[in-house]
Amino acid sequence: MNSKAATVVLVHGAWADESSWDKTVALLHEKQIKTVTVRLPLSTLADDVAALDQVLEQVAGPVVLAGHAYAGAVIGATHSSKVKALVYVAALAPDQGETVADVFNRYEHDALAPQLAPDDKGWIWLPPEAFATAFAQHASPAEQKVLAAVQLPLSPACITVAVGEPLWKQIPAWYLLAEQDHMIPKQTQRFMAERMHARISAYPVDHLPSLTAPKLVAAIILDALSHSAA
């Protein structure tokens, strides 16, 4: 695969939107890498995979597909033949028969992890203060306020359905392990990354390195592009 001909497709996780990738996109554009971001409805896992597949259908040529957090389950559930490599950014990677909730809760969370529960309409919101304490503690206060303002809620239907055979069993995967993540324990991340036989890069970053450490995220994506080209 010619890396210059490849497109990087970026998928946000829960409580974020496409803007969480803006800094990473800018760095990739400096390298003349084509990028596309995907907006997920976060209504059901099937809906989210359908939204991703709709975008992939519009992309010409090969794809390196990156997902953050919950979106790890989404990128693993597509079976588009265009996808040549997967990049997991502090992301969840359930295996066949597991749910997102299963892997999210595999190991105990620390004291800074927020309490999560559906509201009276069935949606799970992240408490606004959690953006500063658990989700993106390395971001600026202004960035944390924006994250809280633009957050997209998650439906329990996204995280309680068992997945089929994931794509990471068929193609190579890269994993950015966020060592200072208070949303997904680093022990959980390492378990999933090692199970995938992913190429692991561990850094002392928070849960949203696409915003707070975009150079590290872009470097891993570029590595995936380079290896896929070879």
Is the CB of residue 208 less than 8 Å from the CB of residue 164? Answer: no
Calculate the CA 147 to chain-centre distance: 16
Closest to 222 measured CA to CA, from 43, 3, 16, 15: 3
Q: Match 């299963």 to its residue by tokens.
A: 102
Q: What is the pLDDT of residue 229?
A: 77
Q: What is the pLDDT of residue 186?
A: 97
Q: What is the largest CA-CA distance in the chain?
A: 51
Burial classification of residue 215, based on how many CB atoms lie within 10 Å of its CB (0-12 exposed, 13-18 middle, 19 or more buried) = exposed
Q: What is the pLDDT of residue 5?
A: 74
Dihedral angle computed from the Cα positions of residues 154, 86, 8 and 52, in that order, rounded to the nearest 10 degrees: -40
Q: Could you list the mean pLDDT of each consecutive 10-residue stretch along the chain, which spans 230 residues?
A: 73 97 98 96 98 97 97 97 97 98 93 93 96 98 97 97 97 98 97 98 98 98 89
Q: What is the pLDDT of residue 1?
A: 41
Q: What is the pLDDT of residue 156?
A: 97
* Non-local CB neighbours of 24 within 8 Å, separated by 6+ positions: 10, 210, 214, 217, 218, 221
Burial classification of residue 156, based on how many CB atoms lie within 10 Å of its CB (0-12 exposed, 13-18 middle, 19 or more buried) = middle
* Non-local CB neighbours of 93 within 8 Å, separated by 6+ positions: 72, 73, 76, 103, 166, 168, 173, 192, 193, 195, 196
Say what the pTM is.
0.96
- Please give the helix or strand (H or E) that residue 8 lies within, else none: strand 7-11
Rounded CA separation 42/47 (Å) = 7
Is the CB of residue 61 less than 8 Å from the CB of residue 36? Answer: no
Domains in the chain (CATH in brackets) are: 7-229 (3.40.50.1820)
Task: Report angle CA 84, 208, 182 to the nearest 5 degrees.
Answer: 120
